[in-house]
Amino acid sequence: MTAATLTLALNNLHSKLQLLTHAPPHNGVIQLSEAFTGVPPLAWLACQTQLPKVYWQSRGHNEECAAIGECRQYVFTGPVSPEQLDAVYQELRNQSHGQDTRYYGGCAFDLSVPSWDDFGRARFVLPRLEVRRNGQEYRLLLNLDGLTNDWSHELKQASQAINQIQPARPLPAPKKYPLLGRSDLPNYSRWCELVAQVTHPEFVSNTPKVVLSRISQLQLAEAVDPWSLLALWQGRNPNSYQFAFQFADNNCFISCSPERLFKRRINELSTEALAGTTTRGNSDEEDKALAEALLKDSKNSHENQLVAQHIIDSLTPLSQYIGADETPSLFKLNRIQHLHRSITAEIKPQVNDLQLLLALHPTPAVGGLPRASAMSYIRQQEGYRRGWYAGACGYFGKDHSEFSVAIRSALIANSKISLFAGAGIVQGSNADAEWNELENKLATILSLLLEL
Ligand SMILES: C=C(O[C@@H]1C=C(C(=O)O)C=C[C@H]1O)C(=O)O
Ligand SMILES: [Mg+2]
């Protein structure tokens, strides 16, 4: 049997909805699914008019999802405790009734401080409609809330969502934008002060690592299309995650992050320590020399080792078994290369995704060590709100869950784009070299946006 086109799949969903007119089959989420021939998910999503919009592509490109609208949404704008998150998480689990439902979303870098408007400190969406690709197979999914006390309204909403689907058009051609202004916070001189403070021997003896970061706000001459920009970014770093969250008009968070927070398949967990950075060479020879120097460098090895050890310590109480690469290998990106250690674990049967998320996030790759003192320093000294930058973004599902660390990311509001970059500061860090590391981490996105 050949799979249906998108139009046919939408019609089939409509027909399935008609069969549910009288009552929901059970008191949970009801998921309708149709196989179809597929559409390019990012281009399709760019054309949709319903919010929120969520895009997710796994590292390795095997899984991709474009989702729109909401069947349910959980937003925490104020202070949120692990207990509150757990209560919501348990509710979601109980409603899935064995179906392949996914809650997409994320949490801010620091749950204890205000996040960005429109995003919240933590936010998870069960989308109304999803295009999901697994390898070459596409499915169109529709979620319905069977717990509602107005089922006919729920059906009407779902049917409207189907009717409002727009056909996919190709993404606008890539273009460069004239730069009207740029501001960095912290600026270079403040950065030097901060690095001096956190590398002071007395400070280091209590807090061996703090990941300091910077927001670079660019004012461009025209509005940026987040979807085209993400597609370009994806082309440059295919071995990264790509994701986007848009909850309000003209405010979209995109990321092309190399870093996995965790991936769970039933009880098999994969995570990693990605920390330690150098540039790429202009020739194979130079690239190899830079790689070898990175592998030998004690400051970079220390950055990576602290992350690996902390992840192992945090996961040990939650795992039956845990294993990690003893020595780092290289993770190469378009303009930089990192040190990387894989960590795998078999988690204990009663351990859930929320426990994993809270145990791991934020890792010392983006926060520091010990977590509490590094976070407290960042909160007091960094001077801007990180919001979802360096937060955890991804999805919770039944058998599969995956989260990435939202670095190499940008917040786009029309012609204003905020870029973020951080660097792990440890004993032996030099302010100039770390400032250059920030620049190197922005090199790919800047080369896509600006005529350089
Ligand atoms: C914090 C960022 O990256 C992190 C810091 C790194 C480092 O200092 O070497 C490397 C990878 C990430 O763990 C970022 O890109 O914003
Ligand atoms: Mg570094």
Distance CA 121, CA 114 (A): 7
CA 60 to ligand 1 center in whole angstroms: 20
408 CB less than 6 Å from ligand 1?
yes
CA distances from 434 to 72, 207, 422, 430 (A): 42, 18, 9, 6
Which atom of ligand 1 lies nearest, measured to the CA of 211?
A: 1
Average pLDDT over residues 408-437: 98
**What's the mean pLDDT when you consider all of the chain?**
96
9-23, 33-47, 296-310, range with the lowest pLDDT: 9-23
Cα 318 versus chain centre, distance: 23
Tokens standing for 256? 């092309």
Top mutation candidate among 109, 212, 214, 274 for ligand 1, by most atoms within 8 Å of CB = 274
User: Three-state DSSP class for 348?
Assistant: coil
- 285 an active-site residue? no
Q: Residue 377 belongs to what H/E stretch?
A: helix 371-381
Q: Determine which residue's CA is closest to atom 6 belonging to ligand 1.
A: 275
User: Three-state DSSP class for 420?
Assistant: strand
Distance CA 45, CA 244 (A): 10
Indicate the residue type of 80: V
Label residue 205 exposed, middle or buried (CB < 10 Å: 0-12, 13-18, 19+).
Answer: exposed
Average pLDDT over residues 361-380: 98
Structure confidence by residue, pLDDT tens digits, 98-145: 899 999 999 999 999 999 999 999 999 999 999 999 999 999 999 999
CB–CB of 198/427 below 8 Å?
Answer: no
Q: Which residue has the higher pLDDT, 384 or 3?
A: 384
Nearest CA among 150, 145, 153, 109 for reference residue 125: 145
For the cut 90, the answer to whether the pLDDT of residue 23 exceeds it is no
407 CB less than 6 Å from ligand 1?
yes
77-86, 327-336, 405-414, 431-440, range with the lowest pLDDT: 77-86
- Residue 5, phi then psi, degrees to nearest 5: -75, 170
pLDDT at 409: 98
* 375-405 burial code (b ≥16 CB/10 A, e <16): bbbbeeebeebbbbbbbbbbbbbeebbbbbb
Other Cβ atoms within 10 Å of 434 Cβ, number: 22
Q: Which domains does the chain have, with CATH numbers?
A: 6-163 (3.60.120.10), 179-243+251-449 (3.60.120.10)
429 backbone φψ class: left, alpha, beta (φ>0; ψ -120 to 50): beta
Quote the pTM value: 0.98
421 backbone φψ class: left, alpha, beta (φ>0; ψ -120 to 50): beta
Which residues partner with 143 through β-bridges?
Answer: 31
CA 169 to ligand 1 center in whole angstroms: 35
CA 300 to ligand 1 center in whole angstroms: 11
Structure confidence by residue, pLDDT tens digits, 133-178: 999 999 999 999 999 989 999 999 999 999 999 999 999 998 999 9
Distance CA 396, CA 398 (A): 7
CB–CB of 328/304 below 8 Å?
Answer: yes
Can you spell out the DSSP letters for 72-97? EEEEE-S---HHHHHHHHHHHHHHST
Over pLDDT 70: what percentage of the chain? 100
Average pLDDT over residues 69-82: 94
Which atom of ligand 1 lies nearest, measured to the CA of 389?
A: 16
pLDDT at 374: 98
276 CB less than 6 Å from ligand 1?
yes
410 CB less than 6 Å from ligand 1?
no
Can you spell out the DSSP letters for 10-23? HHHHHHHHHTTSS-
Residues with Cβ within 8 Å of 127's Cβ and at least 6 positions away in sequence, in order, are 52, 54, 67, 68, 69, 70, 71, 104, 143
Other Cβ atoms within 10 Å of 88 Cβ, number: 16
Task: Starting from the CA of residue 213, give the closest ligand.
Answer: 1
Quick one: CA dihedral 134, 30, 397, 407, positive or negative?
Answer: positive
pLDDT at 1: 52
Average pLDDT over residues 62-67: 97
Query: What residues does the ion ligand 2 have nearby, CB within 5 Å?
Result: 277, 423-424
Give all strands (DSSP E) within 189-259, no chain letters. 209-220, 242-248, 251-255
pLDDT at 2: 60
- 259 an active-site residue? yes
Residues with Cβ within 8 Å of 187's Cβ and at least 6 positions away in sequence, in order, are none
Q: Determine which residue's CA is closest to atom 3 belonging to ligand 1.
A: 422
Structure confidence by residue, pLDDT tens digits, 243-266: 999 999 999 999 999 999 999 999
Q: Determine which residue's CA is closest to atom 9 belonging to ligand 1.
A: 276
Angle between the N-to-C axes of helices 82-95 and 353-360, in degrees from 0 to 180, rounded to the nearest 10: 150
Other Cβ atoms within 10 Å of 172 Cβ, number: 12
For the cut 80, the answer to whether the pLDDT of residue 438 exceeds it is yes
CA max distance for the chain: 70
307 CB less than 6 Å from ligand 1?
no
Question: 259, 272, 402, 434: which one is catalytic?
Answer: 259
CA 366 to ligand 1 center in whole angstroms: 6
Which atom of ligand 1 lies nearest, measured to the CA of 307?
A: 13
Angle between the N-to-C axes of helices 151-163 and 6-18, in degrees from 0 to 180, rounded to the nearest 10: 170
pLDDT at 5: 93
For the cut 70, the answer to whether the pLDDT of residue 59 exceeds it is yes
Distance CA 29, CA 307 (A): 38
Other Cβ atoms within 10 Å of 266 Cβ, number: 10
Question: 209, 263, 272, 434: which one is catalytic?
Answer: 209
Indicate the residue type of 197: Q
Other Cβ atoms within 10 Å of 301 Cβ, number: 17
ipTM given for this complex = 0.99
Which atom of ligand 1 lies nearest, measured to the CA of 409?
A: 16
Top mutation candidate among 297, 384, 407 for ligand 1, by most atoms within 8 Å of CB = 407
Average pLDDT over residues 221-242: 97
Residues with Cβ within 8 Å of 259's Cβ and at least 6 positions away in sequence, in order, are 241, 272, 274, 365, 404, 405, 407
437 appears as a binding residue in the annotation: yes
46 CB less than 6 Å from ligand 1?
no
For the cut 90, the answer to whether the pLDDT of residue 373 exceeds it is yes
- Tokens 């474009």 locate to 66
